[in-house]
Amino acid sequence: MPSLHLSTPGLRVRLEGARVMIARPPEPGQEETAEAAVHLHEIERVFVGEKTAVSLATLAAFLRRDIPVIVIETHGDILGFFEKPAPIRTARLAQFRRSDDSAFALAVAGVLVEAKILNQRRVLQRLAANREDTEVTPSLLALGHLAEAAVNARSLESLRGHEGAAAGRYFEAYGAFFPETAPFERRSRRPPHNPANAILSYCYTILAGECEAAIRALGLDPAIGCYHEPAENRPALALDLIEPFRAPVADALALDLLSHGTLHPKEHFETRDGGCFLNAEGRRRFFVAYERRMDRDFTATQSARRTCLRAELEVQARAYRDAVSSDEMLLPFRMN
């Protein structure tokens, strides 16, 4: 169990020896409920909802074992992390120095956006292979040209223009694959306006939180990136590094969950605060599918090694650390 997801409101979590004991709130008419146990050595990271009660002894045990705890608020945004004080490492000092190097920032941003667009293109190719009634060739050609333009961009402003144009072409084609019962229509963020966008927004947030935990573990500052503008409470570097993973993780997962009925628009979502969000059962089903996707083995074309998306995310974080400390350019994740 690499990740422990504690998102159900009312969960009570305590420590018993080396075991994490998890108790669900009792059902109506019941006085108590049985506890589930997870051994600490089985846990690599924890996602915990703001309405979960976790004992201080449990949090201390996570800290001792360097298990990152990512706290998620009700809407799905990251509230913060429980972690040890950040170490002072040479990589962080190098990161600070590199942050003023505009040529370095543009080069890193360019290859990340190029990989993002090429992975979007690959997702469309895989979807179209199973749907003869959907024509995506014009979009594939356009995305290929925009990926080339991105890596050759002369400024971050022009790079953002290429990324925006690619997003328009990609989401237009991507939306055609959703079932009539759960249409995509268009990308909406704050708040998401339908189930498809609710899954995308939630998954992007979880992915960014997992990437930020990896960045922090390497001693880097997640707030200082190359592409996303720094802002208060924004993990700019994590947002940079997840760009190539958005399509193969979140976009593919959202379509799969709604197309196969794992998540149903009327059963697993709720409308509040002007938007559409996953409910408790929807989040539970989402996390099961998310973990399977992140840990599914495949052979990477770039390295010819057996790997998984979670391992590749961590590899990319380490590659960025190496890039700020040397002249070696970051090689982003590319789908097979």
Alpha-carbon distance of 258 to 194, in angstroms, equals 12
Tens-digit pLDDT profile for residues 292-307 = 999 999 887 777 788 9
Work out the pLDDT band at 207, boundaries 50, 70, 90.
very high
Cβ atoms of 246 and 210 closer than 8 Å: no
Alpha-carbon distance of 259 to 277, in angstroms, equals 18
Residue 1 clears pLDDT 60, i.e. is over it: no
Cβ atoms of 38 and 22 closer than 8 Å: yes
Average pLDDT of the segment spanning 202-230: 91
Bridge partners of 19, per DSSP, are: 16, 39
Tens-digit pLDDT profile for residues 115-137 = 999 999 999 999 988 777 677 88
In percent, how much of the chain has pLDDT > 90? 54
The angle formed by the CA atoms of residues 26, 51 and 28, to the nearest 5 degrees, is 20
**Per-range mean pLDDT, top range of 160-169, 230-239, 271-280:** 160-169
Alpha-carbon distance of 97 to 117, in angstroms, equals 29
Residue 103 clears pLDDT 60, i.e. is over it: yes
Determine the 3-state secondary structure of 271 from DSSP. strand
Q: How many residues does the chain have?
A: 336
> Going from the N-terminus, what domains does the chain have, and what CATH number goes with each?
3-82 (3.100.10.20), 90-325 (1.20.120.920)
Work out the pLDDT band at 90, boundaries 50, 70, 90.
confident
Q: pLDDT at position 230, please?
A: 82
Q: Which residue shows structure tokens 């909802």? A: 49
Q: pLDDT at position 240, please?
A: 96
Residue 104 clears pLDDT 80, i.e. is over it: yes
Tens-digit pLDDT profile for residues 237-265 = 999 999 999 999 999 999 999 999 999 99
Cβ atoms of 174 and 124 closer than 8 Å: yes
Q: pLDDT at position 33, please?
A: 67
Alpha-carbon distance of 244 to 313, in angstroms, equals 9
Structure pTM? Answer: 0.88
Q: pLDDT at position 121, please?
A: 95
Q: Which residue shows structure tokens 């179209």? A: 128
Work out the pLDDT band at 89, boundaries 50, 70, 90.
confident
Tens-digit pLDDT profile for residues 69-86 = 999 887 778 888 887 776
Please state the φ and ψ torsions of residue 201, each to the nearest 5 degrees: -60, -45
Burial grade of 150 (CB within 10 A; 0-12, 13-18, 19 or more): buried
Residue 55 clears pLDDT 60, i.e. is over it: yes
Summary mean pLDDT of the chain: 89
Average pLDDT of the segment spanning 141-155: 95
Work out the pLDDT band at 6, boundaries 50, 70, 90.
confident
